[in-house]
Amino acid sequence: EVQLVESGGGLVQPGRSLRLSCVASGFTFDDYAMHWVRQAPGKGLEWVSGISWNSGDIAYADSVKGRFTISRDSAKSSLYLQINTLRTEDTAFYYCAKGSGRYYLDWFAPWGQGTLVTVSS
């Protein structure tokens, strides 16, 4: 069974940085693209970033380009999201999701349970 467990969220002041993690199990991590998707409280889903199986292709939503960095570590079966210069509008649940194939342009599922990032002074 595929399991995705996110961590690293919490209450952070504006301007600070944070690194989110997602530990994957139940599948061969190296064979699949991975994604981050966020959801502000009470709002809809927003795709944030995707990374191909070998990190050769990476993409970001325009809203986060330049501040967010996605990465993966095959030895740890882990996906990461580095968030710099946090803004109040970054407050959201952050979900990781497994790609259906090697490239981030393939559809994605399932999703983890998410980790909440709250940006506030």
Partner 1 sequence: SSELTQDPAVSVALGQTVRITCQGDSLRSYYVSWHQQKPGQAPVLVMYGKNNRPSGIPDRFSGSRSGNTVSLTITGAQAEDEADYYCNSRDSSGFSWVFGGGTKLTVL
Q: What single DSSP character describes residue 62?
A: T
Q: Regarding beta strands 108-111 and 58-60, do their DSSP bridges make them parallel or antiparallel, or are they unpaired?
A: unpaired
Identify which range of 12-20, 26-34, 44-52, 84-92 contacts partner 1 by CB under 8 A: 44-52
Q: Applying CB under 8 A, which of residues 5, 61, 77, 102 lies at the interface with partner 1?
A: 61
CB of 9 to partner 1, least distance (A): 14
How far is it, in rounded angstroms, from Cα 60 to Cα 83?
A: 12
Question: Should residue 7 be labelled a site residue for partner 1 when binding is judged by CB under 8 A?
Answer: no
Q: In which order are the strands placed within the sheet that holds 68-73? A: 3-7, 18-25, 78-83, 68-73
Q: What single DSSP character describes residue 31?
A: G
Question: Six-digit token pair at 31?
Answer: 């064979």
Report the residue number, 39 or 71, with the smaller CB distance to partner 1: 39
Report the residue number, 91 or 101, with the smaller CB distance to partner 1: 101
CB of 49 to partner 1, least distance (A): 9
Q: Applying CB under 8 A, which of residues 46, 55, 102, 118 lies at the interface with partner 1?
A: 46
Question: Should residue 100 be labelled a site residue for partner 1 when binding is judged by CB under 8 A?
Answer: yes
Cβ-based burial of 13 (10 A; exposed 0-12, middle 13-18, buried ≥19): exposed
What pairs with residue 107 in β-bridges? none
**Rule CB under 8 A: which residues touch partner 1?**
35, 37, 44-47, 50, 59-62, 95, 100, 105, 107-114
